Amino acid sequence: MATESDAPFTREAKFYEKLPFKKIKCKLCPRECVIDDKERGYCGVRENRGGTYYTLVHSRVVTAHIDPIEKKPFFHVLPGTVAFSIATAGCNVNCKMCQNWEISQVRPEQVRSNYVPPQQLADLARQYQCASLAYTYSEPVIFSEYVMDAAEAGHASGVKSVVVTGGYIQADPLKKLCQRVDAIKVDLKAYSEKFYKEVVNGELKPILEALVTLRQQKMWTEIVYLVIPTLNDGEPEFKGLARWVKSELGPDVPLHFSRFHPEYLLKNLPPTPLETLERAKAIADAEGLHYVYLGNVPGHPAENTYCPKCRRIVVERVGFSVGGVHIKNGKCTYCGQPIAGVWHA
């Protein structure tokens, strides 16, 4: 049960339904938790108090860093800029490979936090010359009220907002989020329900539906797929994923295949072999995707952005550093081909 000291972080939640006997049904993510009075949902950051539902993590920042936007990764959003990156506690899934489980798998009162209201967040971003606010590390879906308010404050100060999410969210809140933010990166953790059930404690279908909603909303979207040895590294899976992305989202959605390092509950598995990542990229390239990247392999040529028409490098990268950018007014400076992305602040 939350206490007096939670007051600054407590706001009535959006996206829920009142039920008889002071119960509520949360309509934020597909879990649709039904919650009794004085109880919380699965994510542990939303509480029923007398039949009214509250978020306990508005403005409740547990970590903040200034990161290159390439680290999120966004490769087609303001390259070479930095993002003021924050998280609150909590998550609506439980991935066995989570890198940030100390903050994602706890309740807000179990970690130290600071009160950072939206305007202060926007001011900090300006002060540190960050072109964007990034909501990342844990799961922004479960602190979406804060994201929406912070994004509004950011925009008023000329700062964009980018979201890094697992995409486990219902269509209505996702559409509302799209009205406030500028880009969304979805961690698509596998292309199989089995993996989502066994490794994520979630579901694949709602994530694919969320990606289609993002496309319909014309939201700039990039996809990251963490390739985990033996669990989601089959060629049919890579092929199925690439085909689905091309047919449902189009060839211009960047797809990043990222290298796994042993973490959290998957310390028994080895890092992803480079050959597996290269095979995944070759399959996605062959399916006709325009922008297929490899992640966590600094110095690999697949970190660069290549023009899909003339094949010249239009954004040079080594790790999180950006060299030349050969894009002007959204077009390749060599051949004039449009390069999809958010290139201007």
In the complex, the residues that contact ligand SF4 under the rule CB under 6 A are 26, 28-29, 31-33, 41-43, 46, 92, 142
Q: Which residue is nearest to ligand SF4 (CB)?
A: 41
Q: Which segments of the chain does DSSP mark as H helices, in order? A: 101-104, 118-127, 144-156, 171-178, 193-195, 205-216, 235-244, 274-286
The minimum distance between CB 30 and ligand SF4, in angstroms, equals 7
Q: Do residues 310 and 332 lie in contact, with contact meaning Cβ atoms separated by under 8 Å?
A: yes
φ, ψ (nearest 5 deg) of residue 47: -135, 140
Nearer to ligand SF4, 45 or 134 (CB): 45
Nearer to ligand SF4, 107 or 239 (CB): 107
The minimum distance between CB 28 and ligand SF4, in angstroms, equals 4
What tokens does 281 get?
Answer: 């990229």
The minimum distance between CB 16 and ligand SF4, in angstroms, equals 8
**Neighbouring residues of 5: CB distance < 8 A, sequence distance ≥ 6:** none
CA 48 to chain centre: 27
Nearer to ligand SF4, 26 or 82 (CB): 26
Nearer to ligand SF4, 47 or 222 (CB): 47
Task: Find, among 189, 299, 172, 191, the residue nearest to 248 by Cα.
Answer: 191
Nearer to ligand SF4, 41 or 118 (CB): 41
The minimum distance between CB 199 and ligand SF4, in angstroms, equals 18
Give the CA diameter of the chain.
Answer: 66
Cα separation, 230 vs 210, in Å, equals 26
The minimum distance between CB 141 and ligand SF4, in angstroms, equals 7
**Neighbouring residues of 247: CB distance < 8 A, sequence distance ≥ 6:** none
DSSP assigned state of 71: G
């042993």: which residue's tokens? 262
> H or E segment at 10?
none
Nearer to ligand SF4, 41 or 254 (CB): 41
What tokens does 306 get?
Answer: 């290549």
Nearer to ligand SF4, 43 or 95 (CB): 43
The minimum distance between CB 302 and ligand SF4, in angstroms, equals 35
Task: Find, among 266, 282, 187, the residue nearest to 231 by Cα.
Answer: 266
The minimum distance between CB 325 and ligand SF4, in angstroms, equals 38
